[in-house]
């Protein structure tokens, strides 16, 4: 079966899209990924682990300005999809879903809508947010099948009117066989996007007050501020390749997923690093009331906190003062990961979906 996936990033690669595409290639499908190279600096065509990647323009700035160039990407991508004549178009997120919608109704192509995030939560309250929400509901009801990242999205979309054809493929990872030896000194690691609403600057402040070794890797709008604030015992590592970031996660005692819970998308989020931490026996600090907190409680692999400095400081101090508990929580998280959350389980869901069997 020929499958075309669409993404609005240059696929460098996008971890979730890569995992799904690679699993489908392994299952015997011919998989293309049409990616938007807004920077114009990546190969126009390449094969990545059997995945045929084609990158298109136009060049465009990141942020709100990209909306002006999005129709041109749609036009370029649509022409290419027509040439490829896929059996299935698999669109990732709201900003490429229109391609699946149009192809389904013009050509009768099977359309799978893969929802990573709630896009309306990225738009300020007002008329535009309401429009995005209305369009997304219409797209969700039109797709042949919908893939979501966890059960929280299933519950929400059923309220929106999508009652069937929803499949859960979580942002998990393959089994990590190596478990690293932890630092001698209690260490916290954060690897990811450096942006507001992730408790990064607050954690630097708390770590310096408590004398915690905090190591931060990533890039984003807060990068300059992070560099400025990171003085001993905190250290900014810059951008790290995935293998190096996993090693840093593995030798740390703890990590944190503290997203601002005022956003519904943040409350529902179960990012890659949740499962990476569990697989690497690294204890987690998460926001209470979130989907991540439900999993942490299930695995007894960390501590839920309120989204404020007092609560996070108290819970971080608990971890610092309880090395045996930290070790126990790390091992408990890995056990649950291997039993319930490793990528192989979700790969099976994806492959069955493409074989015509529902879950």
Q: Is 268 helix (H, G, I), strand (E, B) or coil?
A: helix
Q: Where are the beta strands (DSSP E) in the chain?
A: 2-7, 30-36, 45-48, 51-56, 88-92, 110-114, 145-148, 166-168, 187-193, 213-219, 234-238, 254-257, 283-287, 302-305
Question: By the 8 A CB rule, do 216 and 237 touch?
Answer: yes
H-helix segments, 9-64: 15-26
Question: By the 8 A CB rule, do 6 and 89 touch?
Answer: yes
What's the token pair of residue 337?
């990961």
Q: Is 222 helix (H, G, I), strand (E, B) or coil?
A: coil
- What confidence tens digit (pLDDT) does each residue in 187-210 have? 999 999 999 999 999 999 999 999
Evaluate if residue 310 carries a pLDDT over 50. yes
The CA distance from 14 to 287, in Å, is 25
Question: By the 8 A CB rule, do 162 and 146 touch?
Answer: yes
Angle separating helix axes 94-107 and 127-142, nearest 10 degrees: 40
DSSP-assigned beta bridge partners for residue 236: 216
Within 8 A by CB and 6+ apart from 163, the residues are: none
- What confidence tens digit (pLDDT) does each residue in 14-69 have? 999 999 999 999 999 999 999 999 999 999 999 999 999 999 999 998 777 778 89
207 CB-contact burial (10 Å; exposed 0-12 / middle 13-18 / buried 19+): buried
In degrees rounded to 5, what are phi and psi of residue 176? -100, 110
Architecture in CATH for domain 2-172+343-354:
3-Layer(aba) Sandwich (3.40)
User: What global pTM score does this model have?
Assistant: 0.93
pLDDT at 67: 84
Q: Is 189 helix (H, G, I), strand (E, B) or coil?
A: strand
CATH class assigned to 187-340: alpha beta
Question: By the 8 A CB rule, do 259 and 290 touch?
Answer: yes
Of 283 and 65, the structure prediction assigns the larger pLDDT to 283
Largest CA distance in the chain: 62
The answer to whether 2-172+343-354 and 187-340 have equal CATH topology is yes
Q: Is 135 helix (H, G, I), strand (E, B) or coil?
A: helix
Within 8 A by CB and 6+ apart from 262, the residues are: none
- Domain extent listing, the chain: 2-172+343-354, 187-340
The CA distance from 312 to 318, in Å, is 10
- What confidence tens digit (pLDDT) does each residue in 215-272 have? 999 999 999 999 999 998 999 999 999 899 999 999 999 999 999 999 999 999 999 9
């Amino acid at each position: 079966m020929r499958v075309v996936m669409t993404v609005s990033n240059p696929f460098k690669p996008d971890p979730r899209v890569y995992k799904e595409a690679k699993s489908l290639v392994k299952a015997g499908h011919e998989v293309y990924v049409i990616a938007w190279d807004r920077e114009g600096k990546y190969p126009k065509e390449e094969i990545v682990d059997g995945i045929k990647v084609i990158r298109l323009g136009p060049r465009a700035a990141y942020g709100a300005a990209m909306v002006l160039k999005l129709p041109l990407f749609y036009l370029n991508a649509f022409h290419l999809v027509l040439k490829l004549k896929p059996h299935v178009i698999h669109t990732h997120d709201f900003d490429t879903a229109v391609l699946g919608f149009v192809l389904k109704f013009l050509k009768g192509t099977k359309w799978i809508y893969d929802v990573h995030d709630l896009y309306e939560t990225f738009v300020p309250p007002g008329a535009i947010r309401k429009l995005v929400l209305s369009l997304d509901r219409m797209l969700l009801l039109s797709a042949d099948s919908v893939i979501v990242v966890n059960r929280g999205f299933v519950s929400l979309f059923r309220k929106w009117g999508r009652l069937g054809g929803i499949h859960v493929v979580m942002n998990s990872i393959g089994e990590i066989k190596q478990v690293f030896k932890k630092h001698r000194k209690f260490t916290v690691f954060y690897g990811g996007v450096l942006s507001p609403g992730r408790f990064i600057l607050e954690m630097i402040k708390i770590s310096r007050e408590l004398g915690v070794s905090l190591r931060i890797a990533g890039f984003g709008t807060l990068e300059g501020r992070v560099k400025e604030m990171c003085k001993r015992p905190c250290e900014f590592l810059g951008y790290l390749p995935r293998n190096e970031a996993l090693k840093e996660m593995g030798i740390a005692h703890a990590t944190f997923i503290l997203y601002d819970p005022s956003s519904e998308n943040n409350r529902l989020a179960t990012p890659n690093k949740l499962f990476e931490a569990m697989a690497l026996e690294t204890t987690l600090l998460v926001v209470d009331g979130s989907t991540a907190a439900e999993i942490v409680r299930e695995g007894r692999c960390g501590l839920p906190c309120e989204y404020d400095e007092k609560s996070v400081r108290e819970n971080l101090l608990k971890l610092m003062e309880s090395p045996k508990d930290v070790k126990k929580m790390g091992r408990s998280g890995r056990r649950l990961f291997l039993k319930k959350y490793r990528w192989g389980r979700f790969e099976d869901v994806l492959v069955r979906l493409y074989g015509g069997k529902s879950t």
